[in-house]
Amino acid sequence: MNEADGTTFYRVSFGLLAAMALFFALFVNGALPGLMVPTTGQAIWMLGFAQSFANGLSIYATNFGLPSPAPISFGLAAALPTALFLKIGIPPADAYSLTFAIWFGVAFYGAFRFVRLLGGRSGISLLCALLWLTAPVIWVHADYSMTSLGIALLPAYFCTALQLIYYERNLPSFILFIAAALSAVFMDGYSFMMFACATAVLLAVAFALRSVKRTELLCKTFPLVAAGFAVSYFLYKNYVGKAIFEKDDLDLFRAFGANIEFFFLPTRGILWLADLFDFSAIREENNYFGDASVLCASFALVSVVAGAYALATKSSDARLKATFLLVAVFGFYMALGPSFKLNVLKPDGVGVSMPLQYAPWRTGTEWLSYLPGFSNMRASYRWVALGMFGAWALLVLHVASRRAQSGVTIAVILAGIAFNIPAPGVMTANVDSEQAIDGIDRYIENLRPIFQPGEKVAFLPFRNDFFVNYMASKLNISTYNVGGDKNLTIAMENWPDTMLAFEIGKASPDFGKKVLWLLAQKDVDVAAIPYIDLLWAAHQWPYPPQYFDEMQPYIEEIRSSGMVDISDTENFTFVRLKPDFRRLSSGKLSALAATHFCKDGVSLSLSAPLKFSDAGAVCGNGWAEPEDWGRWIIGKHATLHYHLPADSERSVLEFDAQGFVGGNLTDQKIGVSINGKKSDGWEFTIASPREIERLELPQGVDTLHLDFFIPEAKSPKDAGVSSDLRPLGLGIIAMCLTKADESCLQH
């Protein structure tokens, strides 16, 4: 079949071959609507955003991550078409799979066009595109959702840069480049950085080796490229609300760097032919730093062999050959992380991170982890995708330099495609994912009668709650919870004090009290107490109710207040205020809750200090969990309730207190009231952050209700002190009831 003849037979035949190649690529990647879904957990996470987008006709999720509308931290480019499919009634599993099929189609065409741009003929271009789309580094990252799409699209992205820099510096080329940069930044941050780095290498080599066009490159091309990436970055920053998240510890960069042997020998259970011919290694995740993705996604031997084969032959463009070689070397080197590791195992008792003491040799790349963009690429091994792209591009340049391909070249490509085929267990998991998502969808639909549309719900204790994304959006309720570590960080910055009082993933002794306080302050309508882990239930459905026994004492404690109605289901308990109590003010409800939990308050004895590090020292709302030194107030208001001895004389309360000052917070003023009457205020400064404060008590009372008001409470993060998101202002170390003319506490 000669592509030059342009006959209808050729076009139809080529179209059929292209369709077959694309179908095979979609099969390998598990993106066949109605049959397969590439993953479960990340699909549920993204479907939650997509369903919320569809509910509110917005690019922000309004069902979770309250109080502010929640941006999706990555993958907007895939979530929006998924939202459209959900809106028109396509089932969630099929909507997700269809979106991925479309984007993989774009990636396949982009890889095909990349080969054609360099001069490859149609048939060999199809084979090269298929070799790229079946690369394990793409489909292994399906568990990280749109990261796999971002990697798959690298040739399509780079094709636009190559067109703009090397071939046609015109408006259509610039528009395509802008579209690629926008797609990259709103698809996945890792591939955006890879695209930017590869483009920088392309520009640098062009500038160094094309002396006659340096002025044009410097004055015209470079500004266009810089503008494309800058506009994309600016739009992403404005959408998410921030572009730089907390920098991860360098120990994580080390841990998630690839061992050198991972490049050349795959892990057992990933590749079909490798397992069949016993060319794979059994690796246990617990024996290595990082996680399973490092072991499974770093294999690059096929690309390395293809690139080495291409390097050994002549190519038509030495400049591009140098460019692709530099891209490959840079990618593979960055994938090592800050340390060289060869057969390095994790010692017993060491966590996921890799301390410097276990690093044999440094690579010298650790300084990059302090730069914007690079600082959030903690999964160092993912740079292997850029290395593999560079090696694949070398092969593409080789085939594009020849009108007829040798048998060796065809054999290398076909062998690479065959070697890329996933193991049967991987394909079975994709079928299971489709069924699991359908099961989750049916389960959540059965919960619909429990809620009223628009009700505000808190799932407690909160975690990285992937499951909540889809549950809240499907039922069209609202919640503070959100799945995704970056989204959780963003949401917590605006949470009310009542939510921040809970510890992530932990039910503390005060859990029941905090649930009632949350309801009493009317920050939520429903408190949902899950028995399933809302992160892992989204990944492995159905999931066992592992927290059932742990949560029962707290539920009974809440039930005994008499203030709530409780609905029990297989995987959740839902708590609401009774109708009569909902009509009361927040202040009255808080007092009733305190009365229940503290009865008449903590009993005080004269000259007997209470340490606030002890759980029994505090009865009231607004307090953090005890620490070794004492405890903080969370937010701008807190209460304490005490019972005085019957024979107490005129007395005072002494507090060993500290104000949260530091960074950009120079002083802290505290308002105090006793039984509703304003008392003298306290003030703390950087010079005097800790003081012994005294409150003169009214005569003739046997109970005390203290209110603390901290108008300038601020999180240590906002103050520039640490990454702590809790709004702090006042901490109490100890308190003591004493006579007016005596002292009880000392620093």
Cβ neighbours, 10 Å, residue 497? 22
Q: Which one-letter DSSP state was computed for residue 305?
A: H
In a domain, 593, yes or no: no
In a domain, 147, yes or no: no
pLDDT of amino acid 573: 96
Q: Which two tokens stand for residue 170?
A: 């015109």
Domain identity same for 639 and 516: no
Rg (CA), the chain: 30
Virtual torsion, Cα 612, 617, 622, 625, nearest 10 deg: 60
Domain identity same for 237 and 302: no
- Cα–Cα distance, 693 to 682 (Å, whole number): 7
Contacts of 553 (CB under 8 A, 6+ apart): none
The per-residue pLDDT for range 542-599, each reduced to its tens digit, is: 999 999 999 999 999 899 888 999 999 999 999 999 998 888 887 777 777 766 766 5
Chain-centre distance of CA 601, in angstroms? 42
- Over pLDDT 70: what percentage of the chain? 96
- Cα–Cα distance, 565 to 526 (Å, whole number): 10
By the 10 Å C-beta count (0-12 exposed, 13-18 middle, 19+ buried), 108 is classed as buried
Q: Is the pLDDT of residue 256 over 80?
A: yes
For 361-367, what is the mean pLDDT? 85
Residue scoring higher pLDDT (236 or 404): 236
The per-residue pLDDT for range 4-22, each reduced to its tens digit, is: 556 887 788 888 999 999 9
Q: Which of 385-394, 433-442, 516-525, 541-550 has the lowest mean pLDDT?
A: 516-525
In a domain, 259, yes or no: yes
pLDDT of amino acid 356: 83
pLDDT of amino acid 650: 66
For 166-192, what is the mean pLDDT? 91
Domain identity same for 26 and 97: yes
In a domain, 672, yes or no: yes
Q: Which residue has the tokens 């079946």?
A: 134
Q: Which of 25-39, 507-521, 587-601 has the lowest mean pLDDT?
A: 587-601
- Cα–Cα distance, 536 to 184 (Å, whole number): 28
Residue 346's domain comprises: 255-405
Domain identity same for 197 and 235: yes
pLDDT of amino acid 1: 47
- Cα–Cα distance, 101 to 30 (Å, whole number): 9
The per-residue pLDDT for range 268-302, each reduced to its tens digit, is: 999 999 999 999 999 998 899 888 899 999 999 99
In a domain, 592, yes or no: no
By the 10 Å C-beta count (0-12 exposed, 13-18 middle, 19+ buried), 466 is classed as buried
Domain identity same for 291 and 352: yes
pLDDT band of residue 38 (cuts 50, 70, 90) is very high
Domain identity same for 223 and 263: no
Contact 495, 635 (CB under 8 A): no
Residue scoring higher pLDDT (514 or 414): 414
Q: Provide the number of structural domains found in the chain.
A: 5
Q: Is the pLDDT of residue 670 over 90?
A: yes
Contacts of 214 (CB under 8 A, 6+ apart): 207
Domain identity same for 425 and 492: no
Q: Is 623 helix (H, G, I), strand (E, B) or coil?
A: strand
Contact 267, 140 (CB under 8 A): no
Q: Is the pLDDT of residue 318 over 60?
A: yes
Q: Is the pLDDT of residue 3 over 70?
A: no
In a domain, 248, yes or no: no
For 417-442, what is the mean pLDDT? 95
Q: Which two tokens stand for residue 185?
A: 């930044």
Instruction: State the sign of the Cα–Cα–Cα–Cα dihedral 224, 229, 232, 233.
Output: negative
pLDDT band of residue 203 (cuts 50, 70, 90) is very high
Q: Is 697 helix (H, G, I), strand (E, B) or coil?
A: coil
- Cα–Cα distance, 324 to 301 (Å, whole number): 17
Contacts of 582 (CB under 8 A, 6+ apart): none
Q: Is the pLDDT of residue 507 over 50?
A: yes
Contact 145, 42 (CB under 8 A): yes
In a domain, 343, yes or no: yes
CA-closest candidate to residue 725, choices 487, 375, 456, 491: 491
Q: Is the pLDDT of residue 351 over 70?
A: yes
Domain identity same for 375 and 269: yes
In a domain, 148, yes or no: no
Average pLDDT, whole number, for the chain?
Answer: 90
Contacts of 447 (CB under 8 A, 6+ apart): 471, 475, 569, 572
Packing angle between helix 122-133 and helix 8-28, nearest 10 degrees? 10
CA-closest candidate to residue 639, choices 697, 707, 561: 707
Alpha helices in 298-406 (DSSP H): 301-311, 318-335, 384-400
Contact 54, 47 (CB under 8 A): no
Domain identity same for 612 and 720: yes
Domain identity same for 558 and 694: no
Q: Is the pLDDT of residue 625 over 90?
A: no
For 168-183, what is the mean pLDDT? 90
pLDDT band of residue 648 (cuts 50, 70, 90) is low
Our CA angle for 411, 412, 413, nearest 5°, is 90
Contact 655, 708 (CB under 8 A): no
CA-closest candidate to residue 114, choices 152, 83, 144, 79: 152
Decide the pairing of beta strands 526-530 and 478-479: unpaired
DSSP element (H, E) containing 705:
strand 703-709
Q: Is 347 helix (H, G, I), strand (E, B) or coil?
A: coil
pLDDT band of residue 245 (cuts 50, 70, 90) is low
Domain identity same for 266 and 396: yes
* Domain limit, last residue, from 243, 268, 290: 243
For 504-516, what is the mean pLDDT? 87
Q: Which of 267-281, 466-480, 542-556, 640-654 has the lowest mean pLDDT?
A: 640-654
> What is the helix, strand, coil percentage profile of the chain, to 5?
50, 15, 35
* Domain limit, last residue, from 189, 210, 243: 243
DSSP 383-409: GHHHHHHHHHHHHHHHHHT-SS--HHH
Domain identity same for 457 and 575: yes
Q: Is the pLDDT of residue 657 over 70?
A: yes
pLDDT of amino acid 151: 97
Alpha helices in 532-620 (DSSP H): 548-559, 579-582, 586-598
Q: Is the pLDDT of residue 469 over 70?
A: yes
pLDDT of amino acid 601: 60
* Domain limit, last residue, from 418, 446, 474: 446
Contact 370, 247 (CB under 8 A): yes
pTM for the whole thing?
0.83
pLDDT of amino acid 2: 52
Our CA angle for 566, 569, 570, nearest 5°, is 145
Q: Is the pLDDT of residue 243 over 70?
A: no
Length of the chain: 747
What are the distances in angstroms from CA 490 to CA 246, 452, 496, 700? Answer: 11, 27, 13, 49
